[in-house]
Structure formats: structure tokens, C-alpha cells
Amino acid sequence: MGALFSTFGINASLLLIQAVNFGVTLLVLTYFLYKPLLKAISARKEKVAQGVADAEAAGRSKAEIEASRSTILSAAEKEAEGVVGRAVEEGKGERAAIVKSAQERSETLLADARAQAEEAKRRALADSEKDIARMAVLAAEKILKQS
């Protein structure tokens, strides 16, 4: 083999030293560069996978929140409609009570006014009867004085 190496001009000891040098360089680069680079790539992959998982979880959470929001809004709308309906019913009841009270008061006032009118009419009739009786007496006196 030595003849083959010398034919091509290859120095066997130099080739062996270069092979050892290449092996040492390969080991050093593997230990200091290749393994840390693989670790960094692996960590980055995990970080990206975690980010994707977080984004998916956030999307699901957002969908759940939207569903909950719409449910809460519809419940609030129903409750508001109920409150408005009760308020309208209470308003109608209050209106009816006020109208009834006003009618009772007007009937009471009307009855009082009628009673006062009757009393005034009775007094007027009594006064007019007194006046008629007095005038009749005066007329009789006059007639008697003339006769």
C-alpha cells in the first residue's frame, strides 16, 4: 500500500494526522455546536407547539365566552322585557286605581253639591213661603185697612 500512496504522492503519516485532526474537530464541533444547536431547535419547536396550543385554547375559550355572552345577553333581554311588562301592568293598575279614586271623589263631590243644592232650594222655598206669608198678611192688612 505504501507503493500506491507514493505513486499518488500521498504521505501516510500526514494522512493519519489529518484524519485524527478531522476526528478531533468533528468531536469538538459536535459537542460545542451541533448538540446545543439541536437543543435550541428542539426548545424552539416546543415553544412554537406551546404557542399553537395556547392559540387553540384561546380560540376555544373565546368561542365559549361568545356563547356565554350571547346566552347572558338573551337572558338580560328577556329579563328587561319582563321588567318592562311588569312596569306596564303596574302602570295600568295604578292608572285604574287613580281613575277609580277620581270617580269616587267626583261622585262624592257631586253628592255633596246636590245635597247643598237641595238644602239651598229648601231654604229658598222656606224663605219664599215666609215672604209669601208675610206679603199675604200685609196684603190682608191693606185690604182690611181699606175696607
pLDDT in tens, the chain (147 residues): 677 777 888 888 888 999 999 999 999 999 999 999 999 999 999 999 999 999 999 999 999 999 999 999 999 999 999 999 999 999 999 999 999 999 999 999 999 999 999 999 999 999 998 889 988 888 888 888 887
- In eight-state DSSP terms, residue 32 is I
Number of domains in the chain: 1
CB contact at 8 A, 12 and 5: yes
Domain carrying residue 33: 2-146
**Furthest-apart CA atoms within the chain: distance in Å:** 200
